[in-house]
Amino acid sequence: MLHRILRGVAGFFVLLSLVLAQTHSKSWLLFTAFVGLNLLQSAFTDWCPLKRLLERLGVRG
C-alpha cells in the first residue's frame, strides 16, 4: 500500500506541475525536476521524505 501511495503522489505532482507550467509559469518545471530527482535518488538510497511521513502516520508497506 505504501509504495502505491508514493507512486500516486509522485505522478500527481508531476502532472500538476506540468499543468501549472502550461497555465501560469514555466518555473513550475523546476518542481517537476525536483520530483524526478527525488525519485531517482530514492531508487538508489531507499530514502524518501514522504515514505517516512506515511510510515509515521501508520501506513504499512
Question: Which residue has better confidence, 47 or 61?
Answer: 47
Nearest Cα neighbor of 21 from 5, 39, 33 is 33
Mean pLDDT confidence for 21-50: 95
Domain span including residue 10: 2-53
In a domain, 59, yes or no: no
Tell me how many domains the chain contains.
1
CA distances, 7 to each of 21, 22, 27, 42, 51 (Å): 21, 23, 23, 12, 10
In a domain, 58, yes or no: no
Task: Supply the mean pLDDT for the chain.
Answer: 95
In a domain, 61, yes or no: no
CB 59 within 8 A of CB 5: yes
Instruction: Give the rounded percent of residues in the chain with a pLDDT score beyond 90.
Output: 93
pTM of this structure: 0.84
Q: Confidence class of residue 56 from pLDDT cuts 50, 70 and 90?
A: very high
pLDDT at 61: 77
Distance CA 1, CA 5 (A): 6
pLDDT at 53: 94
Distance CA 40, CA 38 (A): 5
Distance CA 46, CA 30 (A): 23
